[in-house]
Structure 1
Amino acid sequence: MVGAFRDTLSQLLKARVPVLQVCSYEEQRVLGEIAAVAHDVALVRTPRGVWTWSATRGLVPPDGNRRQGTTDPVAALDAALRIDEPALLVMSDLHPAFGAGGRPADPGVVRRLRELAVAYRSGPVPRTLVLLSPVPDLPVELAKDVTVVDFPLPTEPEIRAVLDGIIVANAATGRIRIDLDERGRERFAKAALGLTLHEAENAFARAMVDDGVLNASDLRLVHEEKRQVVRRSGLLEFLDDPVALADVGGLENLKRWLAKRDGAWLAEAAAYGLPAPRGVLITGVPGCGKSLTAKAVAAAWGLPLLRLDIGKVFAGLVGSSEQNMREAIRIAEATAPCVLWLDEIEKGFAGGPGDSGTSARVFGSFLTWMQEKTRPVFVIATANDFAALPPELLRKGRFDEIFFVDLPTRAERASIWSLHVARRLRHPAVAGELTVDSGLLTELAGLSDGYSGAEIEQAVVAGLVDAYAERRPLRRDDLLRALVNMVPLSVTQAERIAAVRSWAEHRAVAATAAEDWDLDPRQAGGPGLPGGGHGGRAVEF
C-alpha cells in the first residue's frame, strides 16, 4: 500500500508535476514517506530537499532555520516562488484558504498557487509543491492545476508493529497482563484496519488500562474507535446490539454454515488457500429471524456490524447518489474485516417515478463491488419480496449462498418459546407461578403452529401485559389467551407465503436443519399452511 504511494509519488516527481494534493490526517506519516522518496536516488533522478510550511512555523527549509515573515500564506507562496534549488515543499495548513468548511476561498492564495504551478512546471530546476490536508476541498479554479494523490491508511504489518511495540513496552512493567496468542494478536491488528496509527495506538492503550489485561474481550474497544470513523460518514450506522447465535431460535442449517466460516478472513485461512467469505442473501417469511441473524453473526465472529441505509445513499443533491455509494463502500472497506448489513435490499434499489436511472447506476456500482471486492467485508442482505430481486443479484459470485427462512417448525417454535419466556422470567416481578418445562414448551409449540418467531415474541409480550394489568406473575393461561387472540401471518398472507415457498424450492437452501422439519425431508417445499413443508433445497452443512 505505502509502496504504491511511493511509486506514484516518484513518477510524479520525475514527470515534474508542479502541484500535488495528499489528503490524510497523519501528517508525520505522510512527511516520512515524502522524505523517503525525495532523498532516494533510486526513486527520483535528482534528490530534493524537503521544505515545510505551517501556519505557526512558517516556511522551514531543509536546514531547519525558519524564514521570518512567512506564516502568512501569500507571503509563504511568494517565498516559495524564489526557491532556486531542487525542492519538495509540503504545505500543511493551506486548506482553510480554499473555502473548507463553507468559508469563502482566498482569491490571493488561489492566484498565487496558479502562478506557482506555471513557474514550477517551466523552471530550470525540479520543484514540486505538496498540499497536505485532512479534507479534499479545492477551489474550482485549481481543479486542473492540482494532481490528487491517494495516501493509504496503515497496513496490517504497520498496525501489528504498533501493537507489538506497545505490548513490549507495557508488559515489562508487570502492571499489564498480556493474554493474547499469535492468533489473538492477528485479530487485534485486523480489527484496527481502517484506523490511523494514532487511533490504533489509542485503542490498544485503552484496552490495556481498561482492566489491566489485554485479551480477546478487549476487541470491543478497538471497534469503539471504528465507531467514530463510521459515525462521521453519515451513510453507515455502526450497530452495537450484541446478539448471540444461541439467541436465534432454530435455523440450525444457517448457523452451522456461519460457524464454519468463523475466522475465514484470517491469515491462517489464506495460507490454507481459503478466500474470505463474501456474504449471504437471506430471504423468506417476514418475522422469522433474518435481521436477528445478521446481528448475531457479527457478534459471534467478533466483527463490527455496519448497516447501510440505502435511503441515505439517495438523499442529497442530484448526481451525488453514486458518490455516496462509493463513499459508503470505501468506509466499509476501511473498517474491514466487518459485516455489512443491507436490510430489505429489494426496496432500497427499487427506484420509482422520476428516478432517471439513478437507482440502476447505484445498484450496478454495488454489484460490481460485490463481484470484485478483495477486502474482507461480509455482506448480509435480507429480503422479504423475492419477486423484486433482480436476477443479477442472485447469480453465483455475488453471494456465497442464498438461504430461505420459513415459518418455524415445531422444534424451532419450542426453542423460540423457551428463549422469550425464559428471558422475561429473569425479572422477579414476572416469575413465580410459571414453570418452564418440556411439557409447557411442547404444548405452546403445538398451539402456535404457523406462527412466526416475531409473533411468538409478541404473544409473550401480550401475556405480560395481562399479567401486569393485574400486578401478578405471568401464568400459562396468559400465554394461551394471547395465542387465541392473535391471527398469524400464515393465515392473513397464506397465498403469499405459499408463493414464497414455491420460489425458494429450487433457488435457495433451507435455513432449517433437516432433523428439525415437522415432515419427512423429502417433502420439503410442500405448500401446506400452516406448519407445512419447508421451501429450499435440503442441504446439510
Structure 2
Amino acid sequence: MESYSNEFKISLCNLLKARFPYLYIATWEEDRLLSIISSVIDDDSLIKTKRKLFTWKITTGLSTGESLTKKVIKDPIEVLDFIEKYEEPAIFVLIDFHIYFGRSGTAPDIHVIRKIRDVSSALKRSLNPKNVIFVSPSLILPDDLQKEITIVDFELPSFDEIISLIEEMIETNKRNNRITVDLDPHEKECLARASLGLTLEEAENAFARSMVEDGCLNIEDLDVVIEEKRQIIKKTEILEFISTDLEMSDVGGLENLKTWLKKRNKSWFDSAKRYGISAPRGVLITGVPGCGKSLIVKAISSMWQLPFLRLDIGKVFSGVVGSSEKNMREAIKIAETISPCILWIDEIEKAFGGIGGGDGGTSERVFGTFLTWMQEKTKPVFVAATANNIRLLPPEFLRKGRFDEIFFVDMPTHKERVNIFQIHIKKRLIDQNVVGDFELSDELLYHLADLTEGYSGSEIEQVVISALFDAFSEDRSINLHDFEKAIISTVPLSKTQEEEIMRIREWANVRAVAATSKEDSKGYQNETADMGGDVNITRGGRSIDV
C-alpha cells in the first residue's frame, strides 16, 4: 500500500528528527505501522540521515548484526542494553514491551521501568540519532514513565488507503480472472466509506469474503462490510449493534422529519464538501409515547445504509468508582472507530434527567463528557436521541450545536392514521383465507381513521393485532366489525394522559419543529375527539418546511 497518511508521516518524522527518545503508538496494525516507518526512513525528503530499523517481539527477539555475526536478544534488559550501546543511527520498534508496564491489575516490572529511564539520558546524549518506538494494541503506561514517553496517535486506514486496497484487490483478481467487478465510481466510494473504522486487514477480509461468496464485488457487499463492523461491537457490552429491516415506507406519516433526513443522506461523502457542508451532528426526537420516535430512528439505518448502534446508558453507569466515565469514553471511541454510523440513545431523559442526584458527581461527569463530545466531534457519528418527556433534560443539552434540530412527534393526523392503518393491515393480511371477502379500500381506511382520532401509532397497530386475534380465535376471515370492536375497547393515551400530553405540546410549540408536514396537518391543527368525553387535542411543534 502506497497511500499512507501524510499527516502521520510528517508528524512521526518531526518527532524522530527532534530526537524524542521514546514514542508510544497504540495500534493493532503492526505490519501497516512498520511499513509506514520503513517508508519514512527510506524517504530522503523526510529524513536525511539514514537509520537502521530494528524490531523486537517477545517471540522472535531482536536480531543484531548480519548473517553469521547476528545475535538474537529476547531478554528486555539485554535489549535495552543493546540500544544504549549501539552507536549508529537507528530506530528500535519494541512490540509487546507493554507486558512489562503492568496490565490487568499486575504491577509493572520495576527493573525494566528503571532501565528504560536510565537509557533515556543515553539516547538524548547520543552522537547519532536513536529513537525507541513502543507498539501495543492498547495504551498501557505506568506512572513512572509518564514524563519519559510521548504518545503518538495512529489513525485507522484513511479513505484513500481503503480505495487503494479495493483497486489493488480488483486488479489482482482481474489478472487471475477470478471475479467480476460491478462498481461505478460512486459505488466504490460508498464501499470505501462504509469500510472506514476497520483495520486494513479487516477491510481486506471483508472484501475477500465478498469476492469468494458470489464471485463478484458490487455495492451489495456493503452488508459484508457492516457485518465486519458488527464484530467490533460484539466485544463491548455498552454498545449494541442493531440489525433492522425497517424501511422509511414502514413509518406512517412524519413526512417533515423524513424529508429532513432524506436531504442529509450521503452528506459524509466527499461530494458534500463541494457545497461547504459537513455530516449532520444529530437529531433529538421528542413527543407523545407510541407515536413512532423509535420506529423512524431504526429506519434511518436502511435509508442511509449505515451501521446502527444503540448506547445503553444504564450499562455506562457501573458500580466501580471512575469506571462510568471510562465506559462513556470507550463507547464514544468505538462509535468513532466504526463511523460513519448512527448512534441511538433511547429515552435519553431517563439517563440525563436526574443530573446531580446524589451519586458523588458521577452522572455530571459522564454528562459533561458526552456534551463536550457532542459539541466538538469531528467524526461522522450521527446521534439520534429520543425522549418522551424532554422537559426533564438539562437546558444545556438542548443548546444549538449539540443537535442539528429538535423534532416533535405528535398524535397522528387523519391522513397519517390512514397511512398507518394501511401499513399494518397490508403487512399482516397476506393469507387469502384470512383476507376472505375483506377489501382494503380508501373508504374503509378513512372510516377507521375517523374512529381513531386521538390514537397513537402504536395503539393503531394494537387495534389491527386485536382484530386479527378475534378472527383467529374463531378460525374465520377478518371483517370490518373486528376492527371497530377493537377500537371501541381501546382507551387511548390521549385520554388517560391528557394533561401530560398538553404540557409536552406547550413546550414543543416554541422549541421544536413538527415532524408532521404542513400538508398532512391541514384541517387538523385543532382536533377534537369525542371518546366518551371531550378530549381537546391542540397540536404541538412549529409547522415549517425543512
Provide the TM-score with structure 2 as the length reference: 0.91
Give the length in aligned residue pairs. 539
**Which amino acid counterpart does residue 510 of structure 2 have in structure 1?**
H
Choose from 325, 347, 350 the match for 2:350: 347
- How far residue 282 of structure 1 moved from its aligned partner, in angstroms, is 0.9
Choose from 503, 507, 513 the match for 1:509: 513
Matched, 1:250 2:253: yes
Choose from 64, 78, 83 the match for 1:80: 83
Unaligned ranges ≥5, structure 1: none
Aligned residue runs from structure 1 range 20-31, under 5 A: 20-31=23-34
Choose from 419, 422, 429 the match for 1:418: 422
**Which amino acid counterpart does residue 160 of structure 1 have in structure 2?**
I
Choose from 87, 108, 127 the match for 2:130: 127
Equivalent in the alignment of 2:154: 151
For 1:32 and 1:307, the matched residues in 2 are separated by: 36
Matched, 1:137 2:132: no
For 2:67 and 2:418, the matched residues in 1 are separated by: 75
Aligned residue runs from structure 1 range 328-339, under 5 A: 328-339=331-342
Distance 1:215 1:44, change over 3 A: closer
Choose from 425, 448, 451 the match for 1:447: 451
Equivalent in the alignment of 2:544: 539
Contact 1:58 1:69 in 2 (8 A): yes
**Which amino acid counterpart does residue 113 of structure 1 have in structure 2?**
I
**Which amino acid counterpart does residue 504 of structure 2 have in structure 1?**
V
Deviations 1:136-161 (A, max 9, x none): 12334433332221111111011111
- How far residue 423 of structure 1 moved from its aligned partner, in angstroms, is 1.6
Deviations 1:142-184 (A, max 9, x none): 3333222111111101111101111222244444232221111
341-350 or 13-22: which moved more? 13-22
For 1:114 and 1:470, the matched residues in 2 are separated by: 83
Deviations 1:351-377 (A, max 9, x none): 353233333333233223223322222
For 1:444 and 1:524, the matched residues in 2 are separated by: 16
330-339 or 444-453: which moved more? 330-339
**Which amino acid counterpart does residue 305 of structure 2 have in structure 1?**
G
Contact 2:123 2:130 in 1 (8 A): yes
Distance 1:79 1:430, change over 3 A: farther
Matched, 1:457 2:461: yes
For 1:428 and 1:24, the matched residues in 2 are separated by: 58
Equivalent in the alignment of 1:366: 370
For 2:433 and 2:358, the matched residues in 1 are separated by: 55
- How far residue 52 of structure 1 moved from its aligned partner, in angstroms, is 0.9
**Which amino acid counterpart does residue 201 of structure 1 have in structure 2?**
E
Distance 1:73 1:356, change over 3 A: same
Secondary structure, aligned partner of 1:540: coil
Secondary structure, aligned partner of 1:403: strand
Contact 1:250 1:416 in 2 (8 A): yes
Unaligned ranges ≥5, structure 2: none
Equivalent in the alignment of 2:273: 270
- How far residue 406 of structure 1 moved from its aligned partner, in angstroms, is 0.4
208-217 or 379-388: which moved more? 208-217
Equivalent in the alignment of 1:18: 21
Choose from 161, 164, 169 the match for 1:161: 164
Equivalent in the alignment of 2:10: 7
- How far residue 540 of structure 1 moved from its aligned partner, in angstroms, is 2.0
- How far residue 312 of structure 1 moved from its aligned partner, in angstroms, is 2.4
427-436 or 267-276: which moved more? 427-436
Identity %: 50
Choose from 471, 481, 495 the match for 1:477: 481
**Which amino acid counterpart does residue 252 of structure 2 have in structure 1?**
G
Contact 2:528 2:536 in 1 (8 A): no
Matched, 1:237 2:240: yes
Secondary structure, aligned partner of 1:506: helix
**Which amino acid counterpart does residue 539 of structure 2 have in structure 1?**
H
For 2:431 and 2:76, the matched residues in 1 are separated by: 66
Choose from 97, 104, 110 the match for 1:94: 97
Deviations 1:262-289 (A, max 9, x none): 2222111211323222222111101100
Contact 2:28 2:136 in 1 (8 A): yes
Choose from 393, 396, 399 the match for 1:389: 393
